């Protein structure tokens, strides 16, 4: 199984992604990255990392990996429709096409997508997971602007919905992808707000009067009564991914851009097995929030995958996940 993985500047050492590609040649077929200093769906990488990124992109391309540029900030403010902004994105894409053989751009902006489809007809223009496209109608509305889509993560465990979306994609020459290891709350009430904050994070952090509000997920997971919501999320365990792939015929994305141990994440999904805390595989990760407990990935019941696929997701009428939480939430092992 092949994965699209995020370029990390937080990893254990420089040159991490090329080494990972060499170590897992049958696992990584695409690397997605944001250009340093540019807004994206996560905090911007420092501008001084640009030379390293440029060098490693050339190495990755020589290793046969597809390259996917992220232009996926949720908000570009007053520049959102500015010709100067769209032309600057196009110039950056053209430069990366020429210098590194860019294959794809992922964006949450229909304006960026439309401009790139017109200017680069051979480019794969992918809808970001942050657009929350989870219905055939949603896909069809922007079909002229995108060649592929990262499906709304809340439907990762809905086989009927995935089949419906996949059937439409097959009929319309599109490709679908899902994000396998998101730790985010399903249907998060604060997602739009949080995505907008992240898009302006560099400026927000420069202010001296910031309220310093934490994310809703970290706030809630710190309360024992809300921890079952983690099990009701969108993630797919490494042990279950092969079975999921028999339902979903698209591609899989692993969130590793902001993860400090991307090798561990990639290794777990490459092997289809993880011994340890499931929290450690997620981005964002919540180990400190759940402490002094972990979610022991080896203690999930044998029927977990089938039960969570079959359920109607009306969590207020079911206590299955609450029972599983009692089994998997265990004290953190002593060092």
Cβ-in-10-Å burial (0-12, 13-18, 19+) of 200 comes to middle
- In the chain, the domains with their CATH numbers are 3-217+233-277 (3.20.20.60)
Cβ-in-10-Å burial (0-12, 13-18, 19+) of 242 comes to exposed
Q: What is the mean pLDDT of residues 15-22?
A: 86
Cα distance between residue 86 and residue 116, in whole Å: 9
The mean-pLDDT minimum among 96-105, 193-202, 205-214 falls in: 205-214
For residue 335, the model assigns a pLDDT of: 63
Mean pLDDT (the chain) is 91
Q: What is the phi/psi pair of residue 69, to 5°?
A: -85, 135
Cα distance between residue 281 and residue 269, in whole Å: 9
Q: What is the mean pLDDT of residues 290-318?
A: 93
**Reported pTM:** 0.92
Cα distance between residue 134 and residue 154, in whole Å: 8
For residue 122, the model assigns a pLDDT of: 96
Tell me the torsion sign for CA atoms 186, 191, 192, 198. Answer: negative
Task: Evaluate if residue 311 carries a pLDDT over 70.
Answer: yes
For residue 312, the model assigns a pLDDT of: 87
For residue 196, the model assigns a pLDDT of: 84
Structure tokens at 322: 């609450």
Higher-confidence position of 258 and 291: 291
For residue 160, the model assigns a pLDDT of: 96
Confidence of residue 15 (pLDDT cuts 50, 70, 90): low
Cα distance between residue 109 and residue 71, in whole Å: 8
Cα distance between residue 77 and residue 60, in whole Å: 33
Q: What is the mean pLDDT of residues 197-206?
A: 77
Higher-confidence position of 214 and 19: 19
Q: What is the mean pLDDT of residues 61-90?
A: 94
Q: What is the pLDDT of residues 38-70, one digit of tens each?
A: 777 666 677 777 888 999 999 999 999 999 999
Cα distance between residue 156 and residue 330, in whole Å: 26
For residue 43, the model assigns a pLDDT of: 67
C-beta of residue 252 within 8 angstroms of C-beta of residue 3: yes
For residue 50, the model assigns a pLDDT of: 86
Tell me the torsion sign for CA atoms 48, 52, 53, 55. Answer: positive
Q: What is the pLDDT of residues 223-282, one digit of tens each?
A: 999 999 999 999 999 999 999 999 999 999 999 988 888 999 999 999 999 999 999 999
Q: What is the pLDDT of residues 149-187, one digit of tens each?
A: 999 999 999 999 999 999 999 999 999 999 999 999 999
For residue 248, the model assigns a pLDDT of: 95
C-beta of residue 127 within 8 angstroms of C-beta of residue 150: yes
Cβ-in-10-Å burial (0-12, 13-18, 19+) of 47 comes to exposed
Cβ-in-10-Å burial (0-12, 13-18, 19+) of 90 comes to middle
User: Which residue stretches of the chain are H helix?
Assistant: 16-23, 50-62, 83-100, 110-119, 136-141, 159-171, 191-199, 201-206, 216-221, 228-231, 241-245, 262-271, 287-290, 304-310, 320-328
């Amino acid at each position: 199984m092949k994965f699209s993985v995020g370029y990390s500047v937080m990893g254990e050492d420089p040159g991490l992604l090329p080494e990972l590609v060499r170590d897992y040649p049958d696992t990584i077929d695409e690397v997605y990255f944001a250009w340093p200093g540019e807004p994206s769906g996560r905090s911007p990488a420092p501008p001084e990392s640009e030379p390293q990124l440029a060098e490693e992109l050339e190495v990755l391309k020589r290793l046969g990996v597809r390259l996917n540029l992220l232009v996926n900030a949720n908000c570009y403010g007053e520049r959102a429709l500015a010709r100067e902004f769209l032309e600057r994105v196009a110039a950056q894409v053209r430069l990366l096409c020429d210098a590194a053989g860019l294959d794809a751009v992922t964006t949450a902006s229909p304006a960026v997508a439309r401009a790139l489809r017109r200017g680069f007809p051979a480019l794969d223009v992918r809808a970001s997971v942050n657009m929350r496209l989870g219905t055939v109608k949603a896909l069809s509305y922007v079909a002229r602007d995108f060649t592929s889509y990262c499906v709304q993560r809340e439907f990762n465990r809905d086989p009927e919905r995935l089949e419906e979306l996949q059937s439409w994609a097959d009929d319309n020459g599109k490709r679908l992808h899902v994000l396998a290891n998101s730790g985010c709350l399903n249907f998060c009430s604060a997602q739009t707000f949080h995505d907008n904050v992240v898009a302006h994070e560099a400026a927000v952090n420069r202010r001296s009067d910031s309220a310093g509000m934490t994310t809703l997920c970290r706030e809630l997971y710190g309360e024992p009564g809300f921890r079952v919501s983690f099990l009701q999320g969108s993630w797919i365990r490494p042990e279950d991914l092969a079975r999921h792939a028999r339902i979903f015929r698209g591609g899989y994305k692993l969130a590793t851009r902001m993860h400090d141990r991307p090798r561990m994440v990639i290794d777990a999904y490459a092997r289809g097995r993880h011994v340890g805390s499931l929290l450690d595989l997620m981005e964002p990760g919540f180990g400190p929030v759940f402490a002094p407990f972990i979610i022991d990935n080896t203690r999930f019941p044998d029927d977990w995958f089938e039960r969570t696929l079959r359920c109607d997701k009306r969590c207020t009428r079911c206590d299955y996940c609450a029972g599983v939480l009692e089994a998997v939430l265990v004290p953190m092992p002593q060092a």
